[in-house]
Amino acid sequence: MIQLRPKSLSALAGCFPARTAGPATLVEHVLGTGIGSWWADSALQPQVVAVSCANHLLLRGDPYALSPGSLAPFASSLVEAPSRFLRVLGSSFDRIVPGNRMVYVHCAPASPPALRSWHGVTVRPLVREDARALAALGTAEAWIHASWGGPAGLAASGYGWAAFRKGRILAAACTYFRGSVYEDIACATVPDRRREYLAHACVTGLCEDIAARGRTASLSCSRGDRRTRLLARTAGFRLQHEYARCTTGTPTASRLLNPGHSPRA
């Protein structure tokens, strides 16, 4: 797979679903922000196309067009692809971990959370000057700004909210992938301030902003993520659909990838 130049991208966007909630918003986000990469097996007549951003990857096309080792750049990635790619993914990495994802769409009023004491806490939109506070988030929460190219990108984007206390971010929510119809959001809370509904407050403010922009908020999580599913429900989201995703491991030695090949044990 080769990385493509920006001028060749718009024609390839048609390979992916458009104007839908969930992972498809990644494509419009990369097109609109320039953050992320486009890949193909050939620059002239591609049969396989991929879009990547923040360790997420969408893959489409004919898997049998791939040469051995083509998918090596996508090690340790979160991959959404048609089931026909499972065999080539399994041949390309030492392991793939499948998972089921749930896509929720915001379509109901939020349920007020239980009253909590938020002494000294302010919940507000992120501004450019908040880049340092975002950068100070721990490793477990730093992924929240990856789709905007880092802390400065998210702070200046106008697409995030956070709960602050004495300059420290306790929870944050942002548009992770910005589409033209849906904005797929994400949220994170520091470990010592969980179960205080701070993320709920950030998500509520963010959803109001998204609605004011004439779009609809969506939220994706794993089927086993009970905490995020509960947040989605109380924040006014309802389940729209599910899809399969896999996490790739380390690239393996090259293997022949054709319909008649049986991978060696």
pLDDT less than 70: residues of the chain: 6-10, 113-117, 253-265
Identify the residue whose tokens are 């929460």: 141
Instruction: State the pLDDT at residue 255.
Output: 46
Q: How many CA atoms lie within 13 A of 115 on its CB side?
A: 0
Judged on CB neighbours under 10 Å (0-12, 13-18, 19+), 122 is exposed
Determine contact, residues 186/176, Cβ cutoff 8 Å. yes
**Cβ contacts of residue 41 below 8 Å, gap of 6+?**
1, 2, 47, 48, 61, 65, 66, 67, 70
Type of residue at 238 = R
The rounded distance, in Å, linking the Cα atoms of 264 and 37 is 32
Instruction: State the pLDDT at residue 194.
Output: 87
The rounded distance, in Å, linking the Cα atoms of 145 and 152 is 9
Can you list the domains of the chain with their CATH numbers? 2-100 (3.40.630), 104-243 (3.40.630.30)
Instruction: State the pLDDT at residue 114.
Output: 64
Instruction: State the pLDDT at residue 8.
Output: 61
Determine contact, residues 106/231, Cβ cutoff 8 Å. no
Instruction: State the pLDDT at residue 253.
Output: 62
DSSP for 173-240? Answer: EEEEEE-SSEEEEEEEE-GGGTTSSHHHHHHHHHHHHHHHTT-EEEEEEETT-HHHHHHHHHTTEEEE
Type of residue at 181 = V
The rounded distance, in Å, linking the Cα atoms of 181 and 29 is 11
